[in-house]
Amino acid sequence: MLLNGCGSADHRVLEEIIERVYPVEPNVNVSIQNRDGAILVYGSDANELRVRSLKKAYSQERLNQIAVNITTKPGGLSIITKFPPQPNWAFSDRSGTVDCTVVLPATARISVLELSAGEVLLDSMRGPEVRAQLNDGRIFARNCFTNLDLTMNRGMLTLGFDWWEQEQFSTQVNVGQGNAWVFLPAEAAFHLIARAAHGKIANDFNNVPLTVNSSAPEMKIDQIMNGGGSATIKVQVGKGNIKIAEANP
């Protein structure tokens, strides 16, 4: 546990770091819920789950009131942050944040990942599914060959693959307001379905027609890339743009 502060005496940020390690099965079912801050998830080959939580607040009292509760049961583990009530003063929100870094088996299932505001990172997951929901902020998903379900109300979403594997999986992306970027290797084989209800779609892959609905200001793609393979990528943006880019053109 580490406690420190920075800044002036009246506005310093206090921090507390707590690290915990749990032995888990490769197919453990994980649930993560946080309010403000970040949830960073990394898949690994080890049959253990490591949680590093960084709490931040402007007072020792509020820092002590923020809790990171971890509950284990056979086949499952949940991480839930608890915050004190929101302050009523108008100038700033001093209720604090929590950054949770989680390293778990790449084959684990993440049935719930919820964050109100901040950043979500998913890296190298290969389990049966990953479900993530963010209200405001940014989502990054990298090299996740799993069934992804990513939902964001407002912000920026980036989905990327540094290489391609002929695996059967699907990615479902829904962004209410914001932009979605998808980076794929040139040799990637998949079924692409993209829809920008009020925005534009830019695509680096050749011979992909864009369909404009005459009754609505939307653009759509429904195309088989490089023979299709066994993967499906669906991207839907309500108000904003979609970019499908070759990661290694």
pLDDT digits (tens, 9 = 90+) for 8-49: 445 688 999 999 999 999 999 999 999 999 999 999 999 999
The per-residue pLDDT for 121 is: 98
Average pLDDT value for residue range 221-236: 90
Is the pLDDT reported for residue 216 higher than 70? no
The percent helix, strand, coil of the chain (3-state, each to 5) is: 0, 65, 35
Residue closest to 197 by CA, chosen among 243, 159, 236: 236
Residue closest to 57 by CA, chosen among 91, 119, 12: 12
Report residue 161 as tokens: 């693959």
The per-residue pLDDT for 119 is: 98
Looking at mean pLDDT, say which of 1-10, 136-145, 202-211 comes out highest: 136-145
Residue closest to 94 by CA, chosen among 60, 118, 120: 60
Amino acid letter, 96: G
The per-residue pLDDT for 225 is: 87
pTM of the model: 0.89
How far apart are the C-alpha atoms of 165 and 31, rounded to whole Å? 27
Amino acid letter, 137: G
Straight-line distance from the first to the last Cα atom of the chain, in angstroms, rounded to the nearest whole number? 46
Give the CA distances from residue 214 to residues 196, 211, 218, in Å, rounded to whole numbers and listed in that order: 14, 9, 8
